[in-house]
Amino acid sequence: MKKPRVGVDVDGVLGDLLTPCFTIAAEMFGKTFTIDDLTSWDLDSIIPKDRLDEFWQKLGEPGICRNLKPYHGAIDGMRMLGEVADVFLVTSHLHGSPQWVYEREQWAHEHFGIDRHKIVHTKSKHIFAGKMLIDDKPKNIEEWAEEHPLGIPVLWHQPYNHHMFTRKLAPRVFRTNSWELVSSVVRAMTISI
Ligand SMILES: [Mg+2]
């Protein structure tokens, strides 16, 4: 039987982009930041708007994307998910960083054994046609859920994404950071087909 197609975001789900963000912010502002300083998915609470361009430019320097640390459990989790799902990475590259896409593909292959034909680079994640999308950005989940009324939107739980979805959408969204849970949901989907 064909495995259900599932999309998985990279930054904030598989790879720790926050650590380099905090390192750069510390260099720019001379103070230490932690995940507790973030009040939402974006970095508005730690980077002032007038310094954002400078911040993104530094984050886009060669080697940063290539050297991200996979989150604890992500490699085993993806292996588990891959047993029941046809997994694609659905990822938005850093605008203005010419080597980001190339480094991401190298990184995905090195850590997860994922080839580039299984990677969708897009900021418009709602176009991904699959049974499930796993992402830590509430807006991506909202847009994808709207486009795919029968799909299962999964907001990957992080301390910075305590987002309230609309009453209509809230009951549909799984909020978890458990690979076991998402894998069992996909497995149940297969059984019920
Ligand atoms: Mg993300």
Is pTM beyond 0.75? Reply is yes
pLDDT in tens, 79-111: 999 999 999 999 999 988 999 999 999 999 999
CB 28 within 8 A of CB 110: no
pLDDT in tens, 133-167: 999 999 999 999 999 999 999 999 999 998 889 99
Distance 163 CA to ligand 1 centre (A): 14
Higher pLDDT, 43 or 54: 54
Residues in the chain: 193
pLDDT above 70 as % of the chain: 99
CA distances from 59 to 6, 35, 53, 174, 180 (A): 28, 17, 10, 30, 32
Amino acid at 82: G
The chain-wide mean pLDDT, for the chain, equals: 94
Distance 121 CA to ligand 1 centre (A): 12
- What's the confidence (pLDDT) of residue 48? 87
pLDDT at 37 over 70: yes
Distance 168 CA to ligand 1 centre (A): 23
Distance 160 CA to ligand 1 centre (A): 11
> What whole-number distance in Å separates Cα of residue 38 and Cα of residue 119?
28
